[in-house]
Amino acid sequence: MKTKKLIQEGCIIHKEKPFVYVLSSKLRTEYCDFCLKKGQFMKCSGCHYVYYCGKVCQKDGWSVHKLECRNLKRIAPRILPDAARLLARLIKTLQKGGDLVKSYYLENCFRMYKDLMSHYSNVKADQQRMEHFTSLCGVLFDYLGDDILPNSAELMGMYGRICINSFNIIDQELQCLGTGMYLGASVIDHSCSPNAVAIFEGPILYIRSLKTFQYLDWSQVQIYISYIDVLNTTKDRQKELEAAYYFLCQCPKCLAPEPPEINAAACPNKQCDNYIDIENANPDDKCCKCNAIISETFLEQFKQVVELTDMHLQNMKQLAYLDQRGVLHRFNIKYVKTLDLAFQSSIDFQKWDSARIFALELVDAY
């Protein structure tokens, strides 16, 4: 998109269909394999694995599904891992001339498959990803049978491009429906302070602005999205980005000093909204705002809550799971992450009143 007009916050600045994509296998009986919509479905009569919302989607999806239908039927009743199905679809797409596809992000600027970075050397040195790749190769050889496969170096290049350039396809309820590769959108870099966001309508990707631009010319104005959940400390964000995408983030948020509240305790006086710099606090110190005493018992309680939060954060389902209020400051990153997970869980279980409460409390933290 290139325009000299004012771009308001929330405007769509890029729209793109996926180069390849797959629906998550655990959702295959609930969502259409083509449009990714939920509803009543009909099963593919060939493989009995894929479901469609109607004959229109079945017809539109056949050009891709016909290349996998026979193999899905042959390996039944086994469930093909999502990564293997996506990689297999990428192989078939490239064999059918997909390497010549151009995806435009400006009137005269486009990206092709060859423009995607594979990070071959990084992947090869990454033990965890190499173990995953080796496992995928075994699955692919079994799944594709007599089909011609690329050599191992080409396969690893494809795998690396999927790891680095794919998007999780998220619905309006923040549920991950699947994974897709978008050639044009791959030009967009990461920032922990993004000025745009990726959203989806089915498999269609939309990039919306998060701020107002006086004009938009991607050759002059840099567009950033976030590749990860930015609700984390600088150290943890950089660690996650380096592990997943092989770069050290140097965005303004990562270079700026972290606010002291991010690892702070709440004041023991529940009527006081001040934070306590717990890392430099000693027993019998006082709150600089209300003079409440920081007891040794309070310091120990803070330590226990932090350790318990770290241990259980990934499995947290309700905010009440941890007694954090009154110990962690409301802007403490662990407290905010707990709120965020509680918000997401409330949406998953359609507890809208709870979701609203958590969302309102999250606004100030963001």
Digit-coded pLDDT (tens) for 251-271: 999 999 988 888 889 999 989
pLDDT mean across residues, the chain: 88
Nearest Cα to 205, choosing from 20, 10, 16?
A: 16
Q: Is the pLDDT of residue 351 over 80?
A: no
Q: Is the pLDDT of residue 107 over 50?
A: yes
From 26-40, 153-167, 269-283, 325-339, the region with the lowest mean pLDDT: 325-339
Nearest Cα to 336, choosing from 349, 344, 71?
A: 344
Q: Which two tokens stand for residue 66?
A: 């016909």
Mean pLDDT for 329-352 is 72
Q: Which residues of the chain are in CATH 2.170.270.10 domains?
A: 2-23+82-227
End-to-end Cα separation, the chain, in angstroms: 29
Mean pLDDT for 230-242 is 92
Residue bearing the bigger pLDDT, 247 or 220: 247
Residue bearing the bigger pLDDT, 13 or 327: 13
Residue bearing the bigger pLDDT, 81 or 216: 81
Digit-coded pLDDT (tens) for 277-320: 888 889 989 999 999 999 999 999 988 888 777 766 555 544 44
The pLDDT of residue 320 is 42
How many whole angstroms separate alpha carbon 102 and alpha carbon 237? 32
Q: CA dihedral in degrees (307, 309, 311, 317; nearest 10)?
A: 160
Nearest Cα to 316, choosing from 334, 329, 303, 299?
A: 334
Mean pLDDT for 159-182 is 94
Q: Which two tokens stand for residue 318?
A: 């309700």
Q: Is the pLDDT of residue 149 over 80?
A: yes
The pLDDT of residue 263 is 82
pLDDT band for position 61 (50/70/90)? very high
Digit-coded pLDDT (tens) for 188-228: 999 999 999 999 999 999 999 999 888 777 666 689 999 99
Which stretches within the chain are classed as H helix?
Answer: 55-65, 69-75, 82-95, 120-124, 127-144, 152-165, 234-245, 252-255, 296-312, 333-348, 352-365
- Backbone dihedral angles phi then psi of residue 342, each to the nearest 5 degrees: -65, -40
Nearest Cα to 156, choosing from 196, 186, 122, 201?
A: 122
Residues 173, 174, 178, 182: is their CA dihedral positive or negative?
positive
How many whole angstroms separate alpha carbon 119 and alpha carbon 324? 41
pLDDT band for position 344 (50/70/90)? confident
DSSP 98: G
From 16-25, 39-48, 191-200, 326-335, the region with the lowest mean pLDDT: 326-335
Hey, is 52 helix, strand or coil? strand
pLDDT band for position 25 (50/70/90)? very high
Fold of the domain spanning 2-23+82-227: Beta-clip-like (2.170.270)
Beta-strand relationship, 166-170 and 176-181: antiparallel
The pLDDT of residue 322 is 47
How many whole angstroms separate alpha carbon 106 and alpha carbon 269? 56
The pLDDT of residue 350 is 62
The pLDDT of residue 319 is 44
How many whole angstroms separate alpha carbon 66 and alpha carbon 92? 11
Contact 20, 86 (CB under 8 A): yes
What number of other Cβ atoms are within 10 A of residue 45's Cβ?
Answer: 8
How many whole angstroms separate alpha carbon 311 and alpha carbon 357? 25
Cβ-based burial of 175 (10 A; exposed 0-12, middle 13-18, buried ≥19): middle
Percent of the chain with pLDDT over 70: 89
The pLDDT of residue 45 is 94
